[in-house]
Structure 1
């Protein structure tokens, strides 16, 4: 059986309405995503300039103004933190550096105690996180 072959591709000019609709949806999506709250811990880091960083693998511990310890987005006790740091140190093939993000209100005693916990867990290098001078703004003072 032979079917007729008189179908042709229809060539019409591109319509801008679908492109405008997609662009509008993308703009709305971007604007709405800007106002989503970002989970995190509000810290006021001290400001410093020209401090060395590290190129080694690192783990970060945050210390809130009340002395709470945060590791991997969880509030931990000192024993839990020490166990978590020891686990991270044993899993890493290279020596880890502890990066301490401490609020301005954190006392020196709390920092020394945290460094001792890290040393007992097997981390022998520690750095204090600071805010670079370029990012210093009145909101961070």
Structure 2
């Protein structure tokens, strides 16, 4: 599992209220992560990581472009990361939206929110139980 703020495209898709999740892990693992997010009140929105999105990373002058097309930028960024995991089951959380707030929101104060910390703690402790 990685947490990153690569492009800001997820913010345009779902705002600051949630993080995007996508990856190659089995559906059961993803479901467990989504359940953990629900238990700790951190919103996750699952996006597809279809092979079609690999075309967004093609380049005329390089083996791979690190910048996708204008659309689905957060998915293109995940497809870029996927090239380096080499068959390892993996989940990418794009936390660009909820990671840093310019104004207080609900229980989250202005500034860095620590998004994902409670989620990973909850998920991993359930995995190890």
Q: What is the TM-score of this pair, normalised by structure 2?
A: 0.26
Which structure has the larger Rg?
A: 1
Q: What is the TM-score of this pair, normalised by structure 1?
A: 0.25
Greater relative contact order (Cα < 8 A, sep 6+): 2
